[in-house]
Amino acid sequence: MLHGADYNPEQWTHMPDILNDDIRLMGLAKCNVMTIGMFSWSKLEPKEGSFDFGWMDEVIDKLYHNGIYTILGTPSGARPAWLAKKYPEVLRVRPERIRNLFGLRHNHCYTSPVYREKVSHINTLLAERYREHPGLLLWHISNEYGGECHCDLCQAAFRLWLRNKYENDLGRLNEAWYTTFWSHIYTDWEEIESPSPIGEFKLQGLLLDWKRFITDQSIDFMNQEIEPFKRLAPDIPITTNFLGGCIINYDKMAEHIDIVSWDSYPQWHGRHPDWRTACHAAFIHDKYRSFKPEQPFLLMESTPSMTNWQEVAKLKRPGMHALSSIQAVAHGSDSVQYFQWRKSRGGSEKFHGAVLDHSGHEHTRVFRDVAELGACLERLDSVIGRIVQAEVALIYDTENKWAVEGADGPRNPKLNYDEEVLHHYEPFWKLGIPTDVVSMDRPLDRYKLVIAPMLYMLKKDTVERLEAFVRSGGTLVLTYWSGIVDENDLCFLGGFPGPLRKLAGVWAEELDSLYVEDHNSIVMNGGQGDGLTETYSVSLMCDLIHAETAEVLAEYGEDFYEGYPALTVNRFGDGEVYYLAARTEQAFMDDFYGELATRCGIECAVRAEWSEGVTAQVRTDGTMDYIFLQNYTDREQLITLKEPVCDLEGAPAGESLLLPAYGFRILTKKRKTLKQQYRSAANPISNEPAENNGTE
């Protein structure tokens, strides 16, 4: 397991003793990796064409001789002042068409040939210099790619991108963007401008294509950064650290790197209960893990104590540091890394948490927490490389998010797509059921259950793929506000949910929008084996649907549409499709998905009983399961185990165990053979005799 941090030794070259002290302390903290170089350009190239790698050589050598590997960052995230002064084209232009001055970071044009050339040059020097270094583990490309530039170079590149997409046919673009509306017909490619608050910002087709272009242009820039490494050091893998929120389509970007990594900063002990914060963090871990589900990802950054940018950043309560770090491992990370190793003395991040505080020594609570976690990670060698095998997939699609949230109506303020998807994720987190979070383009055949909340936009082959999944026995859940538009945000004609209508077996005639304080209800009729008989509250949006071929499982309880279907199921091929017409209270989601998971024969991480705030995740190599029980409450929790499991050393864990406040336990269980799986499916509640559960 990797354990380490972002490290900026170049900030301390005037105090040469610090490097040795850092290395001693890294040993105490049981760190085996440091990420350097990410913001070092002005120290590496203090004057144009004059390079100084001496300090970096010393750092990488010393780290290596003390058992610490290097993840080497490229410096493109922040450029030297001389570069911006001499070549103003490298600086970003805002949507208002104002060019930024030098300053901050992430302030560069992705198109500028000068910037690309300068980045490529310094990356080539890094590749040549360090490719043979035995301490080099990974290339870390730039920092949290995101943002956009509206300069003339970017406008030209956008027009070229559009010409390619629409095969030089402006008529096709006009059709796709529906430009007869408000007299927007373009007669020349040069008339097209990127979206701007002082120009066009409501033409959905343009907005979507611009966002797609930004993603492609960022990827193109990244690929130019990567080129020298692939050419000169093809054996060293490549990563880039993703931000928590997908502002560009990271799913697409991930196809161009070897290892997915991301920076996680949940607001622990904030306004929400910690378990809810944990559930949200788990969702993002799963989302990024699912970019490459066959391999682990890396937690590239997290804070060992607090951040300096959240509204209120409370200190992690005792236990939370280890728990939140282990959470990443539970969801498939082979690392726990921090921003940052040593707190800077100045600059805007001088109050951001770090392993070493300004006090400069190891006798702090944070340091002890980090060192203890390091010792724990050292015991997890057997978990390295294990993956999460999910039987459930939740569709979360960045382009769908752009489309849903970009549209005016049906409700304003705009719909919150992330919140909607999380609403469906929560029951699985509570039950400890591994879940992949995938875009609508990913393969679905490996899953038993696929949930596609608010599938507003349908891409070209989405419907065929969903139909194939259900036809061969899969279970699909669809919701209101689905099947509304195609990839260009043009509404489907002939009745919603558009091309999903046959699959869902319903026609959605109208959609009622509710004020936040308004409620309606859905009354379950207890039909079709879903077993639910209660009444649940619904809010926000109520779809008025007609069951065509679907069977009705619940009806609205109030208003003029009392008695209209609110939940239906449609048999299609060997599978079934549920259609949930309204935003329900969480209790419904918990009950509904609890029943559905059982019906679909979906396995939890471990069969056990626990209370709110506790969960479990599992990583496996197909033979041995590593189960991570986690308690996100400030109280001790009793877990009743319903199947035999062992601890990491192979000793039986017993029938119940106590998790301390913010505590966790890692357990092991031998995977069932196929024969055993069939037997337990026939008799799900029987406790089977313990097999050899020890680690092997």
Cα separation, 200 vs 204, in Å, equals 10
Burial class of 169 by CB neighbour count within 10 A (0 to 12, 13 to 18, 19+): exposed
580 interacts with, out of ligand GLA, Zn ion, none, CB within 5 to 8 A per kind: none
| 587: number of Cβ within 10 Å | 12
Residue (25 or 154) nearer to Zn ion, CB: 154
Site string for ligand GLA, 105-144 (x = CB under 6 A): --------------------------------------xx
109 interacts with, out of Zn ion, ligand GLA, none, CB within 5 to 8 A per kind: Zn ion
Q: Is 250 in the site for ligand GLA (CB under 6 A)?
A: no
143 interacts with, out of Zn ion, ligand GLA, none, CB within 5 to 8 A per kind: ligand GLA
In the complex, least distance from residue 89 CB atom to Zn ion, rounded to whole angstroms: 8
The residue number whose beta carbon is nearest to ligand GLA equals 263
Find the radius of gyration of the CA atoms of the chain. Answer: 27
Cα separation, 412 vs 643, in Å, equals 49
Cα separation, 27 vs 16, in Å, equals 18
Cα separation, 486 vs 474, in Å, equals 24
Cα separation, 307 vs 343, in Å, equals 11
Residue (109 or 403) nearer to Zn ion, CB: 109
Q: Which of 144, 148, 426, 467 is catalytic?
A: 144
In the complex, least distance from residue 153 CB atom to Zn ion, rounded to whole angstroms: 5
Q: Is 523 in the site for Zn ion (CB under 5 A)?
A: no
Amino acid occupying residue 634: D
154 interacts with, out of Zn ion, ligand GLA, none, CB within 5 to 8 A per kind: Zn ion
Interacting positions 347-366 with ligand GLA (CB under 6 A): 349, 352
Residues 6+ apart with CB under 8 A from 262: 241, 242, 243, 244, 284, 288, 297, 298, 299, 300
Strand bridging mode 449-452 / 435-438: unpaired
Cα separation, 122 vs 466, in Å, equals 46
Residue (81 or 156) nearer to Zn ion, CB: 156
262 interacts with, out of ligand GLA, Zn ion, none, CB within 5 to 8 A per kind: none
Helix, strand, coil share of the chain (percent; to 5) = 35, 20, 45
Alpha helices in 38-145 (DSSP H): 41-44, 54-65, 81-86, 113-130
Interacting positions 181-210 with ligand GLA (CB under 6 A): none
Site string for Zn ion, 108-127 (x = CB under 5 A): -x-x----------------
Amino acid occupying residue 418: D
Cα separation, 89 vs 193, in Å, equals 18
Q: Distance from first CA to last CA of the chain, Å, rounded?
A: 19
In the complex, least distance from residue 307 CB atom to ligand GLA, rounded to whole angstroms: 5
Site string for Zn ion, 4-43 (x = CB under 5 A): ----------------------------------------
Which secondary-structure segment (H or E) carries 644? none
Q: Is 265 in the site for ligand GLA (CB under 6 A)?
A: yes
236 interacts with, out of Zn ion, ligand GLA, none, CB within 5 to 8 A per kind: none
Residue (269 or 669) nearer to ligand GLA, CB: 269
265 interacts with, out of Zn ion, ligand GLA, none, CB within 5 to 8 A per kind: ligand GLA
Which secondary-structure segment (H or E) carries 171? helix 170-177
Dump the DSSP string for 391-432.
Answer: SEEEE--HHHHHHHHHS--SSSSPP-HHHHHHHHHHHHHHHT
Interacting positions 134-153 with Zn ion (CB under 5 A): 149, 151, 153
Site string for Zn ion, 90-109 (x = CB under 5 A): -------------------x
Residue 301 annotated in active site: yes
Residue (148 or 263) nearer to ligand GLA, CB: 263
Structure tokens at 615: 């969960």
- Write out the catalytic residue numbers: 144, 301
User: Which residues lie near ligand GLA (CB under 6 A)?
Assistant: 143-144, 263, 265, 301, 307, 339, 349, 352
User: Which residues lie near Zn ion (CB under 5 A)?
Assistant: 109, 111, 149, 151, 153-154
